[in-house]
Amino acid sequence: MPYPKTFHQRLAGKVAIVTGAGSQDDGVGTGKAIACVFAREGASVCLVDQNEERAAGTLAMIIEVGGKAFVCAADVTDNDACARVVAATVERYGALHVLVNNVGVAGPGGRFETLDEASWDRIVDVNLKSAFLMCRSAAPQLVAGGGGAVVNVSSTAGIRSHGTAAYGPSKAGMIALTRELAVVYGRDGMRANAIAPGHIFTPMVESMLDEEAKERRIKVAPLAIEGDAWDVALAALFLASDEARFITGVCLPVDGGVTEIAALRAYELMQP
C-alpha cells in the first residue's frame, strides 16, 4: 500500500520511541513506516538507529510533512545506550508514552550444528535482549506518564517454525516478553502488545529474496497479496493508541492469513 493519506491525530500529545527507525537506501522498512505514521498522527518521536544516516532519512520524511522528531543514534543491545535514549527523549519532550521495539536482524536457516555460537548470541541480543533493555529503561517513565503502551515487533517465525535455529526462538521470546510486561505492569496502567509480521516486503526482505521466492509467498497467502511496512505501521498505531485501551498481552499477526492456513491447503494454493 502507498504512504497513508488520511490521519486523525490519534497520538496527539504523545511521545514515542521507535527503535530501528532507519531503512536501507531510500526504501521504507517497518521502523521508518511506524515512525512516520506516529508523527503524522501527532506524536513527537525519538528515532533510534545504530546508523545515524539512515535515521536522518526518516527524520527528513517527518519534517517534510510538519511532524516532530529527532534522531538518537544508539546500539540498543547496550544497557547504557538504552538509558541514554530514554533520558534524551524525556529531556527533549518532557514525558514518554509509547515504546516500539522494532530493531531486528535476520538469521540463517538450516541445522543447528551449522549455526555458530557467536551468530546465535548476536541474533538473540539484537532481537530480544534489546527489547528487554529498552523496556527496563523506559518502564519507569511510561508508568510516570500514566502507563503508556509498548509495542514489540516480533514475527510469524515466533509463532510457526521457519527453519531458523536462532531467529525463530528470538522472536518467540519477544512474544513471551510482551506477555510478562502486560502482567507485571498492568496495575500501573501499562499495556504491552506484540505484532507478528509475515510475508512483508521491506528493503531487508528485498535483499534476501529472488522473484521466485516472492511469488511463492504471494501464492501461499490466503489473501494472495504481499504486505508492506505501512501495514505493520498501521497495526502498531492501533495498538499504541487509546483505541486499544482494553487490549494487552496479545500478539497480532499481520500476515495475510499465513499463520492460519493448514499445510495441505497451503500446498494446494501454490500449485499452478
Closest CA to 102 of 217, 15, 11, 16: 16
**Looking at this protein, which amino acid is placed at residue 44?**
S
What SS3 class is residue 19? strand
Model pLDDT for residues 140-175, shown as the tens digit of each residue: 999 999 999 999 999 999 999 999 999 999 999 999
Tell me how far apart the alpha carbons of residues 133 and 116 are, in angstroms, rounded to a whole number: 24
Model pLDDT for residues 44-90, shown as the tens digit of each residue: 999 999 999 999 999 999 999 999 999 999 999 999 999 999 999 99
Least confident stretch, 20-29, 113-122, 227-236, 253-262:
20-29
When comparing pLDDT for 119 and 4, which is higher? 119
Cell numbers for 239, please give them: 495498538
Per the listing, cell 497520538 goes with 11
When comparing pLDDT for 212 and 37, which is higher? 37
Element (H, E) at 53: helix 52-64
Residue 139 pLDDT > 90: yes
DSSP character at residue 50: S
- Give the count of alpha carbons within 13 A of 50, CB side only: 11
Model pLDDT for residues 103-127, shown as the tens digit of each residue: 999 988 999 999 999 999 999 999 9
Q: What are phi and psi of 61, to 5 degrees?
A: -60, -40
Percent of the chain having pLDDT more than 70? 99
Supply the mean pLDDT for the chain: 94
Model pLDDT for residues 213-223, shown as the tens digit of each residue: 778 888 888 99
* pLDDT value of position 183: 98
Model pLDDT for residues 79-112, shown as the tens digit of each residue: 999 999 999 999 999 999 999 999 999 988 999 9
When comparing pLDDT for 26 and 254, which is higher? 254
Q: Which domains does the chain possess?
A: 15-209+228-258 (3.40.50.720)
Per the listing, cell 499463520 goes with 259
Cell numbers for 242, please give them: 487509546
Per the listing, cell 506516529 goes with 38
Residue 227 pLDDT > 90: yes
Cell numbers for 208, please give them: 534476501
Spatial CB neighbours of 237, under 8 Å, sequence gap ≥ 6? 10, 11, 34, 37, 38, 41
DSSP character at residue 10: T
* pLDDT value of position 158: 97
Tell me how far apart the alpha carbons of residues 239 and 191 are, in angstroms, rounded to a whole number: 9
What SS3 class is residue 17? strand
Q: Which residues are catalytic?
A: 167
Concatenated DSSP letters for 152-215? EE--GGGTS--SBTTHHHHHHHHHHHHHHHHHHSGGGT-EEEEEEE-SEE-HHHHTT--HHHHH
Spatial CB neighbours of 216, under 8 Å, sequence gap ≥ 6? 270
* pLDDT value of position 218: 85
* pLDDT value of position 270: 86
Confidence grade of residue 196 (pLDDT, cut at 50, 70, 90): very high
* pLDDT value of position 67: 97
